[in-house]
Homo-oligomer: A and B are copies of this chain.
Amino acid sequence: MAKRGPYGKGEAKRAEILRVALEIFAEEGYRGTSLRKVAAACDLSLPGLMHYFDSKEDLLTQVLRVRDETARLRGAGEDDIEQVHHVIQEGAKTPGLVELFVSMAAAAADPGHPAHAHFAERYPLLRERATAAVRRAVDEGRYDTTIPPERVATLMLAVVDGIQLQWLIDRSVDMEQPFDDLLTLLRADDATRGPGGAGVSRG
């Protein structure tokens, strides 16, 4: 199970494939990118590539996992709300990966799709973490609402996901503003409920 022994090379190659695939999807978008093209970029034949994955959708799902992991690691140690901003900014640079994420989310509607398990784990996890952060903010008097923290967390995730659809069509849409505006609405101090002020304080 570890990376030692005769599996070392295989694991390394698998990781390389995922890295290369992520690059290609980021640069050229995920649509119209065939597995044969990915294989060629890895100096591999198509079956050689498929040796490491059960199917195309399995590969795509693992690319998504890598992306999630990368974003998570870069935001390590930060506050949960900070991490959200970080992930948003990262996503805003790579339309191809946002496109991949949204497409996979649609495909994962089918319980039999490999990505279904991924999202089925991911959303509850994100909701839990966001819920904890919201609960803390309410307890400390920073947020002023009696809406249950779980529901506020669900609302936050919806905003972050949803703005991406608008952004995919029109890149001039500000991907951070709606989330910041939501935070403003949640904030206890009424003086900050307007746009003139600092919005969210960070940095």
Contacts and interface: CB of A to CB of B under 8 A. Distances in A.
A20 interface: no
Interface stretch (A10-18, A42-50, A150-158): A150-158
Contact of A155 (B103, B120, B178): B178
Interface stretch (A65-73, A75-83, A193-201): A193-201
Copies of the polypeptide in the assembly:
2
A194 B152 CA distance: 11
Given A109-B99, A145-B185, A165 B161 contact: yes
Contacts of A120: 169-170
A166 interface: yes
A64 to B, nearest CB: 13
B147 A173 contact: no
Interface string A121-151: 0010000000000000000000011111001
Contacts of A110: 29, 31
Interface band, chain A = 35 or more
A129 B19 CA distance: 43
Contacts of A169: 105, 108-109, 116, 119-120, 123
Nearest to A122: B169
A67 to B, nearest CB: 15
Across chains A and B, which 5 residue pairs bring their CB atoms closest together, nearest first? A162-B162, A146-B194, A158-B162, A161-B162, A102-B106
